Amino acid sequence: MTGEVLAVAARSGHHFSKTPQRAIRLVAGLGVAGDGHAGATVKHRSRVAKDPGQPNLRQVHLLHAELFEDLAGQGFRIAPGDIGENVTTRGLDLLALPTGTRLHLGGSAVVEVTGLRNPCVQLDRFQTGLMHALLDKTSDGRLIRKAGIMGIVLEDGEVRPGDPIAVALPPEPRRALAPV
């Protein structure tokens, strides 16, 4: 399984959207250098309020560009970085990856997938109805979250648009992604 980096984004401080960049630097154990969500412990305000000492399992947010096309069909206009992702991918079914999958981005960066991004009301503040558009249900009623995946940085490296993404699945038995 392989894919490609379509875009990269980062932004200092706590903001919903991130700014597209020519490159980002992933730092092991911390996340995206200079990004407001980088750090060994949680940085998302709601999680800091509950327990600021929790490990940061949301150092890097990855989102599949194919979602933008689906959302466009529903009248939404989303560009890379708009809904907070650091890495926009193409050609990978991110939501189908199991927990613990390792994504090798570019020449040296490695991100371990920790779980799903849980859509929140900030999406509706960005564009009305977007949160609902990023949620779906299976035929048996289980919730499907389509807002991308989260991960931690295991190996440093620079990531640029056009970089390849190689996928290394974890050993069996595999665990489906859950919100983190």
Identify the DSSP state of 13: S
pLDDT recorded at residue 48:
85
Q: Exposed e or buried b for every residue in 54-65, given b needs 16+ CB within 10 A? A: eebebbbbbbbb
Q: Which CATH number fits domain 2-168: 1.25.40.340, 3.40.1010.10, 2.40.33.20, 2.60.120.10?
A: 2.40.33.20
Domain ranges of the chain: 2-168
Q: Exposed e or buried b for every residue in 14-43, given b needs 16+ CB within 10 A? A: eeeebebbeebbbbeebbbeebbbbbeebb
Q: Summarize pLDDT for 29-69 with one digit per residue, the tens.
A: 999 999 999 999 998 778 888 898 999 999 999 999 999 99
What residue has token string 């990855």? 62
In this prediction the pTM is: 0.96
Say whether 55 sits in a helix, a strand or coil.
strand
